[in-house]
Structure 1
């Protein structure tokens, strides 16, 4: 018999079942991943949410009125119209009721046009600013004394011709006095005139409104009376600012001194 030395080490091989090593390794890997994730959450700041671009603010009335818009001088619309909604008369005196019509299909802001007409006519420097009259805008079904109409050049020519006026050569506006329409040529509304320039398109649009409504109120054309002074609003400022060698400055108001 062979003696076994005391303290000798006996090696024992442990045999595991199939897949147990893989399962153990996977479990350990998952544990390591969880520890790493928790550590990352502690060490790294939270990522900021993706910024959403802010929507551009709509232009103000003054900003929209200061911009020229593309529009062909040869455009002819369908000669059908939509009407703006009502707006109360803000002043005192006799109430003059008008409607605003915009020709269908125009690539222009009809709401801006309606707002401009109401603001301009009721400005203290305009026909309604003296306290003797005020302007109220009626809707499609309201009874109006006249209709301020924004129309294409071709349609403007058609309505102005009803009153014997030729607006085709210089694409100008008119008071079609034998009808109920005061015609504002959309080409001029969009593009302005050389007498005012692009930088004064807002004032030019005010002049268009005041000039043509002035005809409806009974005022005729006048010229430049004194060189260097403000042009009378009833001067044909779209065409010129000089009369018999006297040149006036552009002016959109009947009573600019108010």
Structure 2
């Protein structure tokens, strides 16, 4: 047996292995769980609808988003937000682990008549060309990460988000959806219980190196609405300042 841990990434990979039954939800070891999740397109999953986030549309309407440029959609699923961004002047890279989700996204993009670069990958294994984005958007990816991967996530944002760029986040809200479990208990149990819930104070602390533009609960929208919104989710918009000092990396 080799003593193989010699870097921070080795430590993270070792900690990923503690979640043996769930690690394929955020690593490149396999996308089987997400493929099974997306294979039945007719299931009543709210975000299966071809409807962009209401918060994204609200921020755009209020002039809080960049006016075009490059956008990176993390955990894009079937592409509902990526396609909307492409329709509104962005050059979009949309990343997801699931081939089934990306096939669906490409079909939707073709119907919509827009060009989106769909990329099958773990968000933590993106190459150096995934950088200098005007907008990084995450609707539902962050809350599926174990605690140690919040560090990897910050490193990703530091590489991907250009000074002055915007970061939009949608994730589970405490007392509404997701596991309200102390971080250490996730490792004792070896599972994330469907996703991690966050308080507003948690998000402000985790992203305190960015300037907060807005953090609120999403406005609910029913199945007939052209927009997606559920009040068990946070919607947060942040901006990277040019004076931001990056954290230490591996």
TM-score (norm 2): 0.26
Which structure has the highest helix share of the two?
Answer: 2
- Structure having the higher strand fraction is 2
Name the TM-score, length of structure 1 as normaliser: 0.25
**Structure exhibiting the larger radius of gyration computed from Cα positions:** 1
Higher RCO (C-alpha under 8 Å, 6+ residues apart): 2
